[in-house]
Amino acid sequence: MARIIVVTSGKGGVGKTTTSAAFATGLALAGNKTAVIDFDVGLRNLDLIMGCERRVVYDFVNVINGEANLNQALIKDKRVENLAILPASQTRDKDALTQEGVERVLTELAKDYDYIVCDSPAGIERGAMLAAYFADDAIVVTNPEVSSVRDSDRILGILASKTRRAERNDGRIKEHLLLTRYSPARVKKGEMLSVDDVRDILSIDLLGVIPESKSVLQASNSGVPVILNLESDAGTAYEDAVARYLGEERPHRFITEKKRFLERIFGN
Amino acid sequence: MTALKNLSRQSAPAFELKARMMTLSILRVLSADIANLFRQLDAKIATAPDLFQNFPILLDFEDLPEDAQRGFDIAQLNWQLRDRSFVPVGLRGAGDVLTGIAAGVGIGVIAAAPERVRKQAKSEATQPIATNMLIRQPVRSGQQIYAEGGDAIILSTVSPGAEVLADGNIHIYGSLRGRALAGVRGNTEARIFCHDLDPELIAIAGHYCLSDSIDESRRGTSVQIFLRDESLIIEGLQAQRLETTK
């Protein structure tokens, strides 16, 4: 039985899709059969970040509507074995998703895959609710600033009450905090919330801290998940986070400002 | 999906009509002065604005004398209530005249309960069963907890944008960063206890205080909040020990 992971945040632009792409790739690199689904119907982006936008024939909505079968719509990643992408539809809107349809697709995927990563759209409307509804685990992507933290808090409340696990009283969704775009230098200047501030407000387990890095933008623009670039600090931070998710103990890096860290930024 | 299914089986029943007992809030009209009524009601709403969103309410005219009922502008009452996001679902205890007018403005009529049943209900009401509510998880932004008829006990944090209401006391063993409203049905003896005070709003029996007007020295400390002479008092709990550690 596959484990379903939702990557969510409430707020837009905090790095959900980047995280979904990196995380799914990391899980596949670790030898797990992994599928990543873009729930952002109408604002399809995951295919770009994964670099498979020219290979999209059928999409998630086609599968839900029975216009294509799952194997026709799934795109196998060319770089990483065991990884498949189910793109969103660009021409439809989020109302095209139905709970029954999403459940059917997830159940079918669960037969063949170990992990299903659901890339949630921003907001708390239908698309986001459906992306989270069937989840076993949630990765809450948060930027170190107050509005993002508050939106994440709201999402955590929804995860605790409006998901299948909550409705069936089937144990809680395991919640993980992933702090992205973190800059120790700006925290020091008081321009950003610190890791401890965010942990204190959200009081959930910290999965990882992804430093603010040019390599993330470069990776997105070139359609290569940033985790494949282990020379970049963001790539190694994602690799750490995946390892922690899979049960490995790793110390948190990139939390404090170091000379080495600054050199790495300017060296890149 | 479900809609399509239903179309294919049109013979399946589309609805059921059932009688259900349920708790409903009652607005007992005690005076024919509508302007005064809404002045007082607005003050009540201000204590818990979110609680009264789309709030179903039953209008009770039993205590309004028959001659006062005759000149009562129920259309105005209905319209002003709806304006404040209340949903008047029906009325009871009104004389024939008022009942007739109410039907005209679309308010249903509920027959007054027989005397015997009502007496019984009243004697139960004088001995409220304390129904305290224990919350172990953080109360997140956008969530609202209402401990009806008792205390709210929160073992974790109340986030900014979250709201805790209780008819009795509120105890928060984490940080209070959202709103806490104790004694929402007018219990002036209710208190708020919290381990780390940094609220958006605190209120007891309708007397409220916003974050800005809270004494800065109390912020981040362990306190109790209570009413004295109609004003909110914030008092440190074990203040001395805290001051030496801070």
In tens, the pLDDT along B229-244 reads: 989 999 998 754 544 4
Find the CB nearest B159 among A101, A158, A201. Answer: A201
In tens, the pLDDT along B187-210 reads: 999 999 999 999 999 999 999 999
What does pTM read for this prediction?
Answer: 0.68
Shortest Cα distance, chain B CAs vs residue A152, angstroms: 9
B117 vs A: CB within 8 A: no
Q: Quick check: A36 and A85 in contact, CB under 8 A?
A: yes
Task: Look at B138 and A154 and tell me if their CB atoms are within 8 Å.
Answer: no
Name every chain A residue with its beta carbon within 8 A of the beta carbon of B196.
Answer: none
CATH domain B25-112 topology: Alpha-Beta Plaits (3.30.70)
Q: Which residues, given as ranges, of chain A have pLDDT below 70?
A: 258-268
Residue B115 has pLDDT above 60, yes or no: no
Q: What is the mean pLDDT of chain B?
A: 81
B133-244 shares the fold of B25-112: no
CATH class as words, domain B133-244: mainly beta
Find residues 153-182 of chain B whose CB sits inside 8 Å of chain A: 156-157, 159-162, 174-175, 177
Find the CB nearest A157 among B2, B141, B160. Answer: B141
Which of B137, B139, B141 best probes binding to A when mutated, by most A CB atoms within 10 angstroms? B141
Which residues of chain A have a Cβ shorter than 8 Å from any chain B Cβ? Answer: 98, 100-101, 150-151, 153-154, 156-158, 160-161, 200-203
Q: DSSP secondary structure string, chain B?
A: -HHHHHHHTTTS------------EEEE---S-HHHHHHHHHHHHHH-GGGGTTEEEEEE-TTS-HHHHHT--HHHHHHHHHHTTEEEEEEES--HHHHHHHHHTT--B-PPPPHHHHHHHHHHHTS-----EEE-S-B-TT-EEEETTS-EEESS-B-TT-EEEESS-EEEEEEE-SEEEE-TTS-TT--EEEEEE--SEEEETTEEEEGGGS-GGGTTS-EEEEEETTEEEEEESSHHHHHHH-
Q: Running DSSP on this structure, what letter comes out for residue A8?
A: E
ipTM of the complex: 0.71
Name every chain B residue with its beta carbon within 8 A of the beta carbon of A201.
Answer: 157, 159-160, 177
Residue B120 has pLDDT above 80, yes or no: no
For the sheet containing B207-210, what is the strand order? B144-147, B163-166, B179-182, B201-204, B207-210
Which of B159, B164, B196 best probes binding to A when mutated, by most A CB atoms within 10 angstroms? B159
pLDDT for the residue B118: 46
In tens, the pLDDT along A108-121 reads: 999 999 999 999 99
Domain boundaries, chain B: 25-112, 133-244
